[in-house]
Amino acid sequence: MFKLITDTGADLTQEQVIEYGLDVLPLGVIIDNEEFLDGETIQSKDVYQAMRDGKTPKTFQIEASRIEQCFRQHLEANVPFLYLVFSGELSGTYQTAVMVGNMLKEEYPDRVFDIIDTRAASVGQGLFVKTVATYSQDHTYEETVAYAASLVGKIRHLFTVESLEYLMRGGRVSKASAFIGDLLTILPLLTVEDGKLVPIEKIRGHKKVMRRMVDWVVESKSLVENGHLFVGHGDDVPKAEQFEQLLREQVQPAQITKTLVGSAIGAHTGPGLLVIAYFEA
């Protein structure tokens, strides 16, 4: 028996968390100088509403004490565990987890555990964790760790936003760029490369950017067909459903999971965010 641990950066559904018996550590959100824990003391919908109300949430990594508490629980029970972490390029959580792990190895030298930087975010991390969790059901701990390590860098993420306003509030784009972009409805298409969120295209119009995202998926059709796709949204179910319909017109995945994007990404991108993740390599 062994345990899989992840964090709220993965944007998994509650049903998936329960199905795979995952431990999920909460990333943090600050609104009006008040600290909250994602999924525990604040829900994603509340964060999006705060942004609509003109507030600018900030996020913070999982506290070392919370990671230690989780790790120590399994170490004392002598249960091996694997922590699949939100991208270390987007949060300091991975580095903190490694630091805590090294400290506890001195106290529990004979215990077994591993920490893997998924180099993924949001539903990309969710797809990563779900895939490993499924594999783990009929494989050993050692096999599962090796399999998880082999998946790093193989997930394609595509993100777009409803408006550049929220990226501007967080300092990701200039005020002038946000104004011109919104005026002309020029939207960025972003991906995750080496664990970092980077822009790849600028597209004019909400419908065009969704179609372009579908085009990217079609380019990997041979891998996507009969596979599992994750679609995340920033509190905009109709947009996610419209996007799913466009996808199904072009590809036939075995399953599409739609989920609300949590605070780790949503607090920086705002309501109306759309993201898809799938295996590309």
Domains of the chain, CATH where assigned: 3-151 (3.40.50.10170), 155-279 (3.30.1180.10)
Q: Is pLDDT of 170 > 70?
A: no
Q: List Cβ neighbours of 157 (8 Å cut-off, separation of 6 or more).
A: 120, 121, 122, 123, 124, 190, 191, 192, 275, 276, 277
What is the pLDDT averaged over residues 179-199? Answer: 67
59: pLDDT confidence band, cut at 50, 70 and 90? very high
pLDDT, residue 166, reads 64
Residue 264's pLDDT is 86
Report the chain's mean pLDDT, rounded to a whole number.
90
The whole-number pLDDT of residue 268 equals: 86
pLDDT: is 17 or 268 the higher one? 17
Residue 168 has pLDDT above 80, yes or no: no
Distance CA(183)–CA(155), nearest Å, equals 33
Confidence of residue 269 (pLDDT cuts 50, 70, 90): confident
* pLDDT (mean) for 167-184: 42
Burial 26-61 (b: 16+ CB within 10 A, else e): bbbbebeeeebbbbeebebebbbebbeeeebbebeb
Q: Which stretch of 81-95, 175-189, 238-252 has the lowest confidence by average pLDDT?
A: 175-189
Alpha helices in the chain (DSSP H): 14-20, 44-52, 64-76, 93-107, 122-136, 141-151, 165-169, 175-183, 206-219, 221-224, 237-248, 263-269
